Structure 1
Amino acid sequence: MLALIRYSVPPDRTEEFRRQARDIVETLAGQPGYVRGRVVRSVDEPDLWALVSEWEGAGFYRRALGAARMVMYPLMTLMVNEPSAFEDTDIS
């Protein structure tokens, strides 16, 4: 399962965002079901960032969000409000 949380980050908050995003990834990495994660930046819109993580399943991801809520809180105003959980699908 892929989780994608996008953030719209003003230039004057970039360094703050990077520090806090690193803390979020570290917190998520300590949760059951975590496979891998990273923070990426759009090459076309430099104010658009994403926290991308992979999980063994949606339940693991949702429980991890609860555990990471406090570390995620400072960046919530920067989140793009959209669905974040995506399941793999067979397209053959």
Structure 2
Amino acid sequence: MEVVTMTNEQERDYIIVQDESGLLKKFAVEALLNMEEQTYTLLRSEHDQHNAFVMQVENEEDGQYLIGIDDPFIKSMVLDAYAIAVDANPAD
């Protein structure tokens, strides 16, 4: 398993996501996790820092796509891996 966490505001990556309604929303990438031959990301909205979204990253020829995760086991697995990574490497 490979985990990449973003530790402070200067190092944090941001992405712009277009939702189903066509609205553009900005998210901070908290972490990228490579687990079981899949890539997952933990995102936080710039307007709601209290909630995070766990998404699967799909690589296609024309770009990357985020896919929602419905399986509670996978969500829990990703969040547990993120918590372990943060505990092992706390932010300064």
Whether these two folds match at TM > 0.5 is: no
Q: Normalised by the size of structure 1, how large is the TM-score?
A: 0.35
More relative contact order, 1 or 2 (CA 8 Å, 6+ apart): 1
Q: Normalised by the size of structure 2, how large is the TM-score?
A: 0.35
Structure with the higher fraction of residues in helix conformation? 1
Structure with the higher fraction of residues in strand conformation? 2
